[in-house]
Amino acid sequence: MIKTVKFGGSSVSSGSAFEKAGKIIKSDPSRVAVIVSAPGKRFSGDTKITDLLYVLRAHIKYNAPYGDIIGEIEKRFEEIKEYCGLKFDLKSEFSRFRAELGGKISTDYIVSRGEYFCARLMAEYLGYTFVDAADCVFFDYSGKVDTEKTYKSIAEKAEENRKIVIGGFYGSDPDGKIKTFSRGGSDITGSLVAAAIGADAYENWTDVSGILSANPKIVKDPRPIEKVTFAELRELSYMGAEVLHEDAVFPVRDKNIPLYIKNTNDPLAEGTLVMETFNEDDADRKTHFVTGISGKKNFSVITFMKAGMSENYGFMKDVLGVFAEMNVKVELVSSSIDTFSVTVAETSLKEKFHELITRIEEKASPDSVKTESEVSLIAVVGRKLAYNVGIAGKIFTSLGENGINIKMLEQGADELSIIIGVKDADCAKAINVLYRLI
Ligand code: ASP
């Protein structure tokens, strides 16, 4: 049994956080590959190292003095080093980094240093081998991960060294230059490492006891989700639940590696297990039939009406074709006999709106077009929805009883989620009403 473990920013934010993470790692000898983020916030109002590095970069770009910022970053690492009694020569590393900052240096290189230094310190703390992500996570010319090359290289490094620590979030491009993932990308590094070494589990350690079934800023004390499938997780994250970097699921999903979300501050808490499928019997399917609820605001619903639309062959195709031509991402399409509605994020529409409608009028001649903005989409997600009848009815009734008007209701053929459109102003209330149902 071997495991890959990834510790997020708050789990490596200070010396005492290192200590907790170290205890967790050492308590299970199968935890052989460790991925770390850059130190995150130690308390609310604190600044993440990665954010400080972005600020540093901005100061350099605009020729503003940056001595204090780099000093602050160095101090954060020094404190961890001191607390953990480490020998790593941070002084020389930082004087080299300072010298590099005076030359031609990329943003990606600068911001990757948070993970680099953190991994260096963690490797010494654990007595594991430090592996530089620049030497084993490779991007291709299109900016995507070259998985074949990356897997081969990580597997070799893990084989040679047995127990390794890698900084998340970065790798190198085909020219050997440092390149980073988008923010939160250490989750992807962890997933790649798990896939590369054929881990039996990928544990993602963070500061919450698993994925919550609703946003705690909206619903009071939402229940943590015990088990969720990769498909459900994608629906929940797509609709606004902040859990993992959305690209992090692919490598482990491809290799069927179970993913655990665990809490560094409460290691014994169950956390959430993410897998492709679960073996569930009828009794299981009747409990917690909704896995989670998430919602996103600021959509526009554009409704096209054309008499005889259902007998007409190309109307929908023509209308949707214009959205594609103009690079406006369609989130949802729902239709009735003579109308159909296209839901898009308001940000993707912005100044394109008038041209879009003009082109659609020219191409498809709808009888009328109606637009409604400030719409929220709420997703009620659950693999068990398919086994329980009457849920859409309950949703209608409970929202109606609470005076919330449903703008639309859509269920995919896979019955994995029900999407409900309500006015933005009703979004939080609707989520609470729906949460009480589950
Ligand atoms: N440190 C980077 C960030 O703050 C990457 C990560 O933590 O995953 O986005």
Is residue 151 over pLDDT 90? yes
Is residue 237 over pLDDT 90? no
3-state secondary structure of 263: strand
Is residue 242 over pLDDT 80? no
Structure tokens at 11: 């789990």
Contact (CB, 8 A) for 121 and 114: no
Identify the band that residue 390 occupies on the pLDDT scale cut at 50, 70 and 90.
Answer: confident
Cα(186) to centroid of ligand 1, in Å?
6
- pTM of the shown model: 0.86
Atom of ligand 1 nearest to the CA of 48: 4
Identify which of 112, 182, 186 to mutate to test ligand 1's pocket (most ligand atoms within 8 A of the CB). Answer: 186
What are the b/e assignments for 15-44, b being 16+ CB within 10 Å? bebbebbbebbeeeeebbbbbbbbbbbbee
Identify the band that residue 413 occupies on the pLDDT scale cut at 50, 70 and 90.
Answer: confident
Give Cβ neighbours of residue 269 (< 8 Å, ≥ 6 apart).
209, 210, 224, 262, 263
Cα(55) to centroid of ligand 1, in Å?
14
Question: Which CATH code is given to the segment(s) 3-275?
Answer: 3.40.1160.10
Residues 108-126: tens digit of each pLDDT? 999 999 999 999 999 999 9
Cα(191) to centroid of ligand 1, in Å?
14
Cα(272) to centroid of ligand 1, in Å?
21
Superfamily of domain 292-435: VC0802-like (3.30.2130.10)
Identify the band that residue 13 occupies on the pLDDT scale cut at 50, 70 and 90.
Answer: very high
How far apart (Å, rounded) are the C-alpha atoms in residues 270 and 273?
9
Give Cβ neighbours of residue 277 (< 8 Å, ≥ 6 apart).
229
Within its chain, how far is the Cα of 34 from the centroid?
19
pLDDT at 47: 97
- The radius of gyration of the chain from alpha carbons, rounded to an integer in Å, stands at 25
pLDDT at 393: 86
Residues 63-79: tens digit of each pLDDT? 999 999 999 999 999 99
Contact (CB, 8 A) for 378 and 295: yes
Residues 248-279: tens digit of each pLDDT? 889 999 999 999 999 999 999 999 999 999 98
Cα(169) to centroid of ligand 1, in Å?
6
Identify the band that residue 309 occupies on the pLDDT scale cut at 50, 70 and 90.
Answer: confident
Identify which of 6, 10, 41, 50 to mutate to test ligand 1's pocket (most ligand atoms within 8 A of the CB). Answer: 50
Domain boundaries, given as residue ranges, for the chain: 3-275, 292-435
**224 residue type, one letter:** P
Is residue 399 over pLDDT 90? yes
Is residue 285 over pLDDT 80? no
Contact (CB, 8 A) for 40 and 9: yes
Cα(37) to centroid of ligand 1, in Å?
6
Identify which of 53, 56, 115 to mutate to test ligand 1's pocket (most ligand atoms within 8 A of the CB). Answer: 115
pLDDT at 208: 85
**162 residue type, one letter:** R
Is residue 366 over pLDDT 80? yes
Cα(420) to centroid of ligand 1, in Å?
32
Atom of ligand 1 nearest to the CA of 183: 9
339-366 average pLDDT score: 93
Atom of ligand 1 nearest to the CA of 169: 5
Helix (H) or strand (E) holding 119: helix 107-126
Ligand 1 surroundings by CB, under 6 angstroms: 9, 37-38, 48, 50, 114, 168-169, 183-186
pLDDT at 103: 85
Atom of ligand 1 nearest to the CA of 187: 8
Identify the band that residue 310 occupies on the pLDDT scale cut at 50, 70 and 90.
Answer: confident
Atom of ligand 1 nearest to the CA of 115: 1
Cα(187) to centroid of ligand 1, in Å?
9
Question: How does the average pLDDT of the chain come out, rounded?
Answer: 93
Is residue 282 over pLDDT 90? no
Cβ-based neighbour number of residue 68 at 10 Å:
10
Residues 155-166: tens digit of each pLDDT? 999 999 989 999
Cα(286) to centroid of ligand 1, in Å?
38
C-alpha distances in Å from residue 80, one per residue of 24, 36, 153, 190:
18, 14, 30, 22
